[in-house]
């Protein structure tokens, strides 16, 4: 019942999350685009501006008319009404994202975050790490950009990037690949919303308060907000990729998933930067495509690089949370295969789960799509792996690919692992 409620909660939260994120990111992209494409205001013969309240202007064709847009200094005596603010797209994205994180990863005790082949950490520890990462990550990022280093954007960017990849490496010691990508995405997404809440909107409020008290337009508030707004803009592409990564099991389950994450984040930020410079940089397209090709080569190389020859020591846990006594070495090897062969992507609880959970399957009776029943014994498990379409589980799509290319001993290992999942 709990799992069912969590499932429906995830459906609702995911839909709201995607719609709100589209609205927020759409705004971010459009506002930055307008900012970059503003034309300088006209000047009089003596070089002084014709209209000293005008910062720039732009004409846009849309919907059967021209939007003649002006960016102006705000006159405290003539504050326009209504004056639109943009924040709820961001807050709605964040709130629905938190609900989704709970419904997909936290509600079933946090074990969906973990990789049993890497750690014996309990699910509650995984949830604590995940929440701690978001809170601590924000404090570190915010402190870094408030510190004197923040005046040297390139250095601060380098340190921020190194910290982010360090965090991915840290989470990779405990979490499965999909959870690592989602965790880093959730951290960056939270930084973006916190930027809106703590910097952008707060500065806009101060700005409006100063105007309402009759003071002249002070650009200092806008400047502070603009830095964070630019950070958000550059984070959009990487966050989108990370949030969609549950659909990219080839990437998240790769042996080198953390270095691959680093390449992807850096390339997407660079690509966005090149798109932003296209007005004055004749080489922007070459530079963007070149970076994509280089990233493709680097990732392709990392995908074929061999991982650790020895499987990592495995500490599987029994259902009670106690380490299972005398873990079968076959099951240990099977646990590793279960991840490297992407079985986990479909069979582990979570957003892209296509197949049934295999916990406690062995020894039960399975109801098949044709209405018959079968015993989940060793030969059934073996057949499910080699010829998945031979017997389809009722209620599930015929979506499992055949793993007939596996060596017989690998199939034995997988079967031993599934048997150990009690």
Q: Which of 187, 235, 264, 361 binds ligand HEC (CB under 6 A)?
A: 361
Nearest approach in angstroms of CB 174 to ligand HEC is 22
Say if strands 365-367 and 373-375 run parallel, antiparallel, or are unpaired. antiparallel
Based on CB atoms, which residue is closest to ligand HEC, 116 or 167?
A: 116
Pick the piece of the chain touching ligand HEC (CB under 6 A) from 13-21, 50-58, 98-106, 358-366. 358-366
| CA separation for the pair 419, 25 (Å, rounded) | 46
Q: Which of 189, 271, 350, 388 binds ligand HEC (CB under 6 A)?
A: 388
* Residues 252, 41 contacting (CB under 8 angstroms): no
Expressed in angstroms, the distance from the first to the final Cα of the chain is 20
Q: In a 3-state reduction of DSSP, which class is residue 209?
A: helix
Structure tokens, 222: 């806008």
For position 393 contacting ligand HEC by CB under 6 A, the verdict is: yes
Q: Which of 18, 366, 378, 386 binds ligand HEC (CB under 6 A)?
A: 366
Q: Spell out a b/e string for 139-150, using b for 16 or more CB atoms within 10 Å of the CB, else e.
A: ebbbeebeeeee
DSSP-assigned beta bridge partners for residue 65: 62
Based on CB atoms, which residue is closest to ligand HEC, 188 or 421?
A: 421
Nearest approach in angstroms of CB 406 to ligand HEC is 7
Q: Which of 106, 191, 237, 403 binds ligand HEC (CB under 6 A)?
A: 403
For position 349 contacting ligand HEC by CB under 6 A, the verdict is: no
Nearest approach in angstroms of CB 321 to ligand HEC is 24
For position 356 contacting ligand HEC by CB under 6 A, the verdict is: yes
| CA separation for the pair 18, 91 (Å, rounded) | 13
Based on CB atoms, which residue is closest to ligand HEC, 131 or 366?
A: 366
Q: Which is nearest to 353 in space by CA: 364, 362, 342?
A: 342
Say if strands 65-72 and 54-62 run parallel, antiparallel, or are unpaired. antiparallel
Nearest approach in angstroms of CB 311 to ligand HEC is 16
Question: Assign residue 64 a region: left if phi > 0, alpha if psi is -120 to 50, beta otherwise?
Answer: left
Nearest approach in angstroms of CB 345 to ligand HEC is 6
Structure tokens, 14: 């995911």
Nearest approach in angstroms of CB 400 to ligand HEC is 3
Nearest approach in angstroms of CB 382 to ligand HEC is 9
For position 335 contacting ligand HEC by CB under 6 A, the verdict is: no
Nearest approach in angstroms of CB 229 to ligand HEC is 40
Q: Which is nearest to 93 in space by CA: 175, 15, 209?
A: 15
Query: Between the CA of residue 333 and those of 80, 111, 313, 324, what are the distances in Å?
Result: 67, 20, 9, 15
For position 198 contacting ligand HEC by CB under 6 A, the verdict is: no
Nearest approach in angstroms of CB 105 to ligand HEC is 19
Q: Which of 188, 381, 416, 421 binds ligand HEC (CB under 6 A)?
A: 381
Pick the piece of the chain touching ligand HEC (CB under 6 A) from 64-72, 103-111, 164-172, 376-384. 376-384
| CA separation for the pair 351, 359 (Å, rounded) | 17
Rounded to 5°, angle at Cα 104 from 244 and 394: 95
| CA separation for the pair 131, 285 (Å, rounded) | 39
Q: Which of 276, 342, 351, 359 binds ligand HEC (CB under 6 A)?
A: 342
For position 253 contacting ligand HEC by CB under 6 A, the verdict is: no
For position 121 contacting ligand HEC by CB under 6 A, the verdict is: no
| CA separation for the pair 307, 310 (Å, rounded) | 9
Number of residues near ligand HEC (by CB under 6 A): 28
The H or E element containing residue 375 is: strand 373-375
Based on CB atoms, which residue is closest to ligand HEC, 21 or 337?
A: 337
| CA separation for the pair 367, 369 (Å, rounded) | 7
* Residues 228, 197 contacting (CB under 8 angstroms): no
Based on CB atoms, which residue is closest to ligand HEC, 146 or 394?
A: 394
For position 355 contacting ligand HEC by CB under 6 A, the verdict is: yes
For position 399 contacting ligand HEC by CB under 6 A, the verdict is: yes
Q: In a 3-state reduction of DSSP, which class is residue 367?
A: strand
Residues at the site binding ligand HEC, with contacts judged by CB under 6 A:
341-343, 345-347, 354-356, 358, 361, 366, 376, 381, 384-385, 388, 392-393, 396-401, 403, 414, 418
């Amino acid at each position: 019942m709990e799992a069912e409620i969590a499932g429906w909660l995830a459906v609702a939260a995911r839909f709201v999350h995607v719609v709100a994120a589209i609205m927020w990111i759409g705004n971010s992209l459009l506002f930055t685009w307008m900012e970059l494409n503003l034309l300088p205001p006209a000047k009089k013969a003596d070089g002084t501006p014709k209209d000293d309240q005008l910062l720039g202007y732009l004409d846009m064709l849309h919907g059967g008319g021209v939007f003649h847009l002006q960016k102006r200094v705000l006159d405290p005596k003539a504050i326009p009404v209504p004056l639109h603010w943009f924040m709820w797209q961001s807050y709605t994205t964040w709130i629905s994202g938190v609900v989704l994180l709970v419904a997909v990863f936290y509600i079933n005790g946090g074990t969906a975050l973990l990789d049993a082949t890497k750690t014996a950490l309990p699910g509650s520890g995984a949830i604590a790490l995940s929440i701690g990462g978001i809170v601590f990550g924000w404090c570190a990022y915010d402190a870094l950009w408030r510190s004197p280093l923040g005046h040297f954007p390139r250095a601060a960017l380098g340190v921020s990037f190194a910290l982010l990849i360090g965090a991915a490496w840290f989470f990779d010691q405990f979490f499965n690949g999909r959870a690592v990508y989602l965790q880093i995405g959730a951290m960056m997404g939270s930084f973006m919303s916190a930027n809106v809440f703590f910097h952008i909107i707060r500065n806009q409020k101060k700005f409006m308060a100063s105007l309402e008290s009759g003071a002249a337009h002070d650009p200092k508030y806008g400047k502070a907000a603009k830095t964070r707004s630019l950070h958000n803009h550059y984070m959009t592409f990487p966050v989108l990729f990370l949030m969609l990564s549950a659909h990219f099991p080839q990437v998240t389950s790769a042996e080198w998933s953390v270095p691959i994450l680093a390449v992807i984040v850096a390339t997407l930020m660079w690509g966005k930067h090149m798109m932003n410079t296209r007005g004055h940089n004749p080489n922007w397209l070459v530079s963007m495509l070149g970076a994509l090709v280089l990233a493709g080569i680097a990732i392709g190389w990392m995908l074929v690089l061999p991982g650790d020859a020895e499987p990592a020591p495995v500490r599987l846990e029994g259902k009670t949370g106690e380490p299972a006594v005398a873990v079968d070495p076959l099951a240990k090897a099977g646990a590793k295969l279960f991840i490297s062969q992407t079985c986990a992507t479909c069979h582990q609880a979570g957003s892209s789960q296509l197949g049934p959970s295999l916990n406690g399957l062995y020894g039960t009776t399975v109801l098949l799509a044709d209405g018959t029943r079968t015993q989940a014994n060793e030969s059934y498990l073996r057949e499910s792996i080699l010829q998945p379409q031979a017997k389809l589980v009722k209620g599930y799509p015929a979506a499992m690919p055949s793993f007939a290319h596996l060596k017989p001993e690998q199939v034995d290992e997988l079967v031993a692992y599934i048997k150990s999942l009690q």
